[in-house]
Amino acid sequence: MIPELGHFFLILALVNAIILGTLPFYGAQMQHQGLMRLASKAAIGQFVLLLASYICLTLSFIQSDFSVAYVANHSNSLLPLRYKITAVWGSHEGSLLLWILILAAWMAAVAIFSKTLTQVVRARVLATLGLITVGFVSFALFTSNPFERVLPFIPIDGADLNPLLQDFGMIVHPPMLYMGFVGFSVVFAFAIAGLLQGDLDQKWAKWARPWTTVAWIFLTIGIALGSWWAYYELGWGGWWFWDPVENASFMPWLAGTALLHSLAATEKREAYKSWTVLLAILTFSLSLLGTFLVRSGVLTSVHAFATNPERGYFILTFLGFAVGGALTLYAWQFDKIKSKTNYTLISKEIAIVINNILLFCSLLVVLLGTLYPLIAEFLWQEKVSIGPPFFNPYFSFFFAFILFLIPFGQNMNWKQDNLKSVIKPYSVLFVVSLGLATLLIWLIVGAIEPLALLGLMLGIWLFIACFYYLFAQSRKSKSWLAGLSKISLSYWGMIVAHIGVAVSVIGIVITSYYSIEKDIRIKPKESVQVENLSIYFADFKNFNHENYLSSQAVFEISKDGSYFTTLKPEKRRYQVSKQLMTEAAIKPGFFSDLYISMAEPLAEGAWAIRLYYKPFVRWIWLGSILMALGGLLAVSDKRYRQKKLAKFKTAKDEAVI
């Protein structure tokens, strides 16, 4: 009964979405108040219906209703309750429902928090989101119904959730990622509404910007969580693999980052409207593209869902309508978008252009590398695979320029600035950062790698330049505190986010160049010496857990002769799926991680274990947290609060209608 109810709610949601995606558009065109007002109500109704449907699926999981195919394939009666709840998004059908639910949540948020929008704009934004919902709900209903029953032969028990997904990181990673992906649909909808209206005024950017930032924050956290999860769960110590699906989440992030910057120019200076709108379309299109790549099976990846060509064709068709439609509208209205160009060569506007060009080039590297296997097969019928040897150098090349230029860009004034005053303070900083980088590398290891030195220098350069910026601001007033308090929250956001970039870069460079990996053979009650660490295999135990058997080794590790830590890596055998899992044991540290994973049993009770020393690896995720925090500070800026906007509206708004 419950699955049918969920299915029914999903069908109602489709009907509701069709209403939402059509009538308000018509209302906006005809100036029909009632039809326009319908949009907000339908948006909130959409959320309620989808939430109900989602709860039904969750209930089916909690009750272990194995007559539902999706539950039978991805759950098991032995699965702990928390994983039953999260198994809902453990595979294609359920995660798609979560995707749609999150889309509806964003839509409801727009309906609630956009009281200051003109009715026409709100109706069009919500209706655009409604059309996107139509696409996704039909995708779920017609190709990927999570409520499908297996009757009459009901499985006695389920096939279990993939053990890789029975983990905290995996519980939070997909929802965060989807919040980001889907969040970009809002700015997309704003772009469509703006294009339909013809002219994009400053207000357009002012509305779109905080929504974009919030989506970007979620995506940043989502990607960082995925990377962190891969690091501790996959057992080979890596944190980024340029896997097509990772790329699929990284591309909207790069486009979204470019968009954040160009939106700033559009909001403050009415510059680059046309480009900003295109980026807004592009960012969400890349989110959709990611969905297509992951869920159609055109690319092989560790993440790929069970594939089915019908699904691929469905999303491709949808992609064609959504993106093709948006781009056609863009081409149609291109002429009407007028930007102001009252800035000189040395100005923040130009800095943002350079930022966008470089981010766009990095994006193209990732896009090309991800799609090249498809393109090569299309053009030359060749199978190729593209990996880190392609991505690392080309991506780093463009990113190095970005890192080098951020300090100048963030210090520039709008409209016009003086080249000398922008560059002057930084020559000293540049030398200092080179010195610091050399020193740091010399401290960590003896050998100096030129590329590592360059990367580290750029990271440190950006790091100290951000603090220098704060220092310079603090000197502008009588007391330093007064100086700092004059910096607006959005500037604080920018600085904190840029510090985050620096911190991540420092972590990435040091981990990539100076990690140590050792394979050792070790027997119980035996010691092995690796560099300055002594590893003692103290014990080997078997445990019975709810749904898996665990073989745990206990290693007592001493450093330079004194006790350092005890690590307990595991091998797990999941009873239902019979899958073997390697659980690494990690001793985390601010400056380095020690990481042990069990490879395989050898003769006479000995084990092959892998030992990793990972310097500065935590900095990668610490930096991501700082970036997200920067975003949070930026959206907290008081100019986005309702009252100010309301005033703005009464002054200028009515003229638009």
If one asks whether residue 551 binds another protein (CB under 8 A), the answer comes out as no
If one asks whether residue 441 binds another protein (CB under 8 A), the answer comes out as no
If one asks whether residue 198 binds another protein (CB under 8 A), the answer comes out as no
Q: How far is the CB of 344 from another protein (least distance, A)?
A: 25
Q: How far is the CB of 304 from another protein (least distance, A)?
A: 9
Of these, 328, 479, 485, 532, which contacts another protein (CB under 8 A)? Answer: 328
* Angle, in degrees to the nearest 10, between helices 489-514 and 450-474: 160
Residue 131 or 367 having the CB closest to another protein: 367
Of these, 75, 285, 433, 624, which contacts another protein (CB under 8 A)? Answer: 285
Of these, 138, 416, 550, 577, which contacts another protein (CB under 8 A)? Answer: 577
If one asks whether residue 323 binds another protein (CB under 8 A), the answer comes out as yes
Residues 408-427 touching another protein, rule: CB under 8 A, are none
If one asks whether residue 159 binds another protein (CB under 8 A), the answer comes out as yes
Of these, 37, 59, 109, 297, which contacts another protein (CB under 8 A)? Answer: 297
Residue holding tokens 């999150």?
A: 102
The contact pattern for another protein, residues 302-321, with x = CB under 8 A and - = no contact, is: -------x--xx--x--xx-
Q: How far is the CB of 374 from another protein (least distance, A)?
A: 5
Q: Would you give the DSSP letter of residue 304?
A: P
**DSSP H or E stretch at residue 112:** helix 92-113
Of these, 156, 331, 345, 443, which contacts another protein (CB under 8 A)? Answer: 331
If one asks whether residue 156 binds another protein (CB under 8 A), the answer comes out as no
Distance between CA atoms of 78 and 161, rounded to whole angstroms? 10
**500, 496, 499, 470: which is closest to 485 by C-alpha?**
470
DSSP states of 449-517: -HHHHHHHHHHHHHHHHHHHHHHHHHTTSSSHHHHHHTS-HHHHHHHHHHHHHHHHHHHHHHHHHH-EE
Query: Contact region for another protein (CB under 8 A) — 90-98, 280-288, 471-479, 585-593?
Result: 280-288
If one asks whether residue 451 binds another protein (CB under 8 A), the answer comes out as no
Query: Contact region for another protein (CB under 8 A) — 29-37, 215-223, 376-384, 601-609?
Result: 376-384
* Bridge pairing between strands 580-583 and 516-522: unpaired
* Residues 76, 159 contacting (CB under 8 angstroms): yes
DSSP states of 230-291: HHHHSSS--S----HHHHHHHHHHHHHHHHHHHHHHHHHH---HHHHHHHHHHHHHHHHHHH
Residue 116 or 333 having the CB closest to another protein: 333
Of these, 26, 113, 168, 334, which contacts another protein (CB under 8 A)? Answer: 334
DSSP states of 399-449: HHHHHHHHHHHHTPPSS---HHHHHTTHHHHHHHHHHHHHHHHHHH-S---
Residue 373 or 459 having the CB closest to another protein: 373
Distance between CA atoms of 543 and 550, rounded to whole angstroms? 5
Of these, 188, 272, 330, 607, which contacts another protein (CB under 8 A)? Answer: 330
Of these, 4, 157, 199, 377, which contacts another protein (CB under 8 A)? Answer: 377
The rounded radius of gyration (Å) of the Cα atoms in the chain is: 27
Residue 37 or 573 having the CB closest to another protein: 573
Residue 244 or 455 having the CB closest to another protein: 244
Q: How far is the CB of 277 from another protein (least distance, A)?
A: 11
Bridge partners of 529, per DSSP, are 534
Report the 10 Å Cβ neighbour count for 384. Answer: 11
**277, 408, 285: which is closest to 331 by C-alpha?**
277
If one asks whether residue 580 binds another protein (CB under 8 A), the answer comes out as yes
Angle at CA of residue 105, ends 115 and 74, nearest 5°: 180
Give the count of residues interacting with another protein (CB under 8 A): 37
Q: Residues 324, 328, 329, 331: is their CA dihedral positive or negative?
A: positive
Q: How far is the CB of 591 from another protein (least distance, A)?
A: 38
Residues that bind another protein in the complex, under the rule CB under 8 A: 159, 278, 281-282, 285, 292, 296-300, 309, 312-313, 316, 319-320, 323-324, 327-328, 330-332, 334-335, 371, 373-375, 377-378, 383, 577-580
